[in-house]
Structure 1
Amino acid sequence: MSTVIEQPVEARLVAAAPRMPNIPATLHYDRDDPFAVRMTFPAPATLEGVEVCWTFARELLAAGLSGPEGLGDVRVRPYGYDRTVLEFHAPEGTAVVHVRSGEVRRFLEATSDLVPTGLEHLRLDLDHRLAELMRDA
């Protein structure tokens, strides 16, 4: 069984430069980092001209399907019948993208099949990670 899920999604860019109305993005989940998801945007869609990856809580993405969520750099909210808005705030500016809610739901279902929601802590090997930190101290 794979430990990683990658799902391409079509994101509609609402506010950012350069202008590029529809961009391919990728949602990524790794069961070794069970609380997080990543959304990656290709180089042509970014100000710097390099691929950009945002990491945020899986719980934030799920909660944002039914109501506004997030206070920090990433905010998620429903929009209309089957759209989800993701806002990415950085010092350079804000990017707002719309993604089909159905695509987000399918992605979240696949992540829950890999690591059930609420059981993420069982995937963490805190003793091993602590030992790695202490080894260098």
Structure 2
Amino acid sequence: MSTVIEQPVEARLVAAAPRMQTIPATLHYDRQDPFAVRMTFPAPATLEGVEVCWTFARDLLTAGLHGAEGHGDVRVRPYGFGRTVLEFHAPEGTAVVHVHSEEIEGFLLATHELVPAGTEHRQLDLDHDLAELMRDAC
């Protein structure tokens, strides 16, 4: 069984122009980092011309499907019309994208089949991580 889930999604960038631009994005989940998901935008879709990856809690994405969640760099909320809004706040500015909620729901279902909610801690190898920290401290 694979320990990584990747799902391409169609994101619509909210801009001042009336028509939103569609940009590709990828949702990513790795069993070795069981509390987190990543959303990656390819270089052509970013202002800087480099790939941008945002990492945030899987629980934030799950809760944001049903109500406004997040107070930091990443915020998620339902929008209606079968869409979910993700806001990414950085010093350079804020990016707001809409994603079809069913794409997020399908992705989350797959992540919860791989690592059920509440069992994330079982995926962590704390002894190994502590040994790595101690090795680097010497």
TM-score range, shorter chain: over 0.9
Query: What's the RMSD between the two structures over aligned residues?
Result: 1.3
| Contact 1:34 1:123 (C-alpha < 8 Å) held by counterparts | yes
CA distance in 1, matches of 2:15, 2:136: 44
* Map of 2:33 onto structure 1: 33
What pairs with 1:17-96 in structure 2 (closer than 5 Å)?
21-96=21-96
Report 1:95-114 matches (<5 A). Answer: 95-114=95-114
Show structure 1 runs of 4+ deviating over 3 A.
none
Q: How many residue pairs were aligned? A: 135
Task: Report the 3-state secondary structure (helix = DSSP H, G, I; strand = E; otherwise coil) of the residue aligned with 1:117.
Answer: coil
| Gap regions ≥5 residues in structure 1 | none
Match of 2:15 in 1: 15
What's the CA shift for 1:20? 7.0
Structure 2 alignment gaps of length 5 or more: none
Aligned partner of 1:131: which letter? A
Secondary structure in structure 1 of the residue aligned to 2:26:
strand
With normalisation by structure 1, the TM-score equals 0.95
Cα distance in structure 1, aligned partners of 2:61 and 2:14: 19
Amino acid at match of 1:38: R
